[in-house]
Amino acid sequence: MIECGMRIADRGVPVVDWLLELENPSVRYFTLVELLGKRVGNQDVIEAKSRIMTEGPVPRILSRMKPPGYWGKAEDYYVGAKYKGTVWNIILLASLGADGRDKRVRAAAEFVIRYAQDPESGGFACRGGPKGGRHDSVIACLTGNMTWSLIRFGMLDDPRVQRAIAWIVKYQRYDDGETRPAAVWPYDGRERCWGRHTCHNSVVKTLRALAEIPTGQRSPAVRHKIEQAAEHLLRHHIFKRSHDLRRVSISYWTRFGAPAMWDCDCLEILEILTRLGFQDPRMQAAIDLVRKKQGEDGRWLQEGRFTDRLLVRLERNGRPSRWVTLRALTVLARLGQLAGPARALAGGRRTALLQNTGTSV
């Protein structure tokens, strides 16, 4: 049982109190909502959400956006702009809980739809311009990331977002060595994305987008796609090779970082699966890794691959991370593996966690 009331050695404060400190409004907001199960109408939640737009990294990111809604060069929104261009800042803003009603956030959303969404298919392309994303450059991981971000900005009902969801449902595959897609669009010429083994990152990013759709608004096709994607990840025990479970599939998946860009890690996968209500024995190796990485002070370190390359630095690698700690505690809370009187949301239902009267959260 993980103790979420552990005290930080050099400051004498419980870990959850550390996450709730005012200096990081985004972490405070998600701690209140995701970890402690506070309702969106709670006054603390309302105040934290409001402060996201006025303090911390979100206003710094938005201050560097050009008025039409992009960062850097308009048409260089993805490939050559890693990780300071438009697409990456949209992912970052969505991760930080930026308010999609803000006119600057909405301008960025409209820009990326105009420049990157393929008018023909609804998927998002890594190359594009004023007339839209190039049909021959549509990729699944970007489609997943942009769909997730736009839903987070409150645009689920926008017909253009619905087209992106339809693209995921129609084209996302889960090949695992025995089969491969036909040599037709969008699969032809993209061996890394659509070879005999579907790109794991695209599976995760498109699943994350579908998981962001509220349960009651998921069509039967979306629900089926979620089940397919989840089974694909569970078959790999989250981060192993399905045909040899003694081997790690992708080495960097065992390094926990935040925020994620096109890449991911096994903690992100656990976040998605537990949000969807999955509890499966094949998740255990990843859960054990999460528990193993917790420090003696109850915190987890930042190990992200791109933390030094973002437009605005959130945290430094190798140091205790509020973001990674929040993600890890949220996963363990949903699985009922936290001690202390915290409450968490698991599978859409509020679940009381085991009590430990010797400590406080």
Give the tens place of pLDDT for each residue, 209-246: 999 999 999 999 999 999 999 999 999 999 998 888 88
pLDDT of 7 strictly over 80: no
Give the tens place of pLDDT for each residue, 107-123: 999 999 999 999 999 99
- Residue 92 CA to residue 71 CA, distance in Å, equals 13
321 in Cβ contact with 302 (< 8 Å): yes
pLDDT of 278 strictly over 50: yes
What is the model's pLDDT at position 9?
44
Segments making up each domain of the chain, as ranges: 69-320
What is the model's pLDDT at position 188?
87
- Residue 31 CA to residue 38 CA, distance in Å, equals 9
pLDDT of 357 strictly over 50: no
Give the tens place of pLDDT for each residue, 145-176: 999 999 999 999 999 999 999 999 999 999 98
Is residue 220 packed enough to be buried (19+ CB in 10 Å), middle (13-18) or exposed (0-12)?
exposed
Q: Give the residue among 95, 142, 141 at the shortest CA–CA distance from 315.
A: 95
pLDDT of 249 strictly over 80: yes
Rounded to an integer, the average pLDDT of 274-299 is: 96
- Residue 207 CA to residue 219 CA, distance in Å, equals 14
221 in Cβ contact with 237 (< 8 Å): no
**Percent with pLDDT over 70 in the chain:** 90
Give the tens place of pLDDT for each residue, 121-148: 999 999 999 999 999 999 999 999 999 9
Q: How confident is the model at residue 306 (pLDDT cuts 50, 70, 90)?
A: confident
Q: Which residues contact 103 (CB under 8 A, 6 or more apart)?
A: none
How would you label 182-196 residue by residue, b for 16+ Cβ within 10 Å and e otherwise? Answer: eeeebbeebeebbee
Give the tens place of pLDDT for each residue, 321-352: 999 999 999 999 999 988 654 433 333 333 33
Give the tens place of pLDDT for each residue, 167-210: 999 999 999 888 888 889 899 888 888 888 899 999 999 999 99
Q: What does DSSP say about strands 338-339 and 2-3: parallel, antiparallel, or unpaired?
A: parallel
CATH for 69-320? 1.50.10
What is the model's pLDDT at position 361?
26
Give the tens place of pLDDT for each residue, 22-57: 999 999 999 999 999 999 899 999 999 999 999 999
Radius of gyration of the chain (CA): 20
What's this model's pTM, rounded to 2 decimal places? Answer: 0.90
**Percent with pLDDT over 90 in the chain:** 75
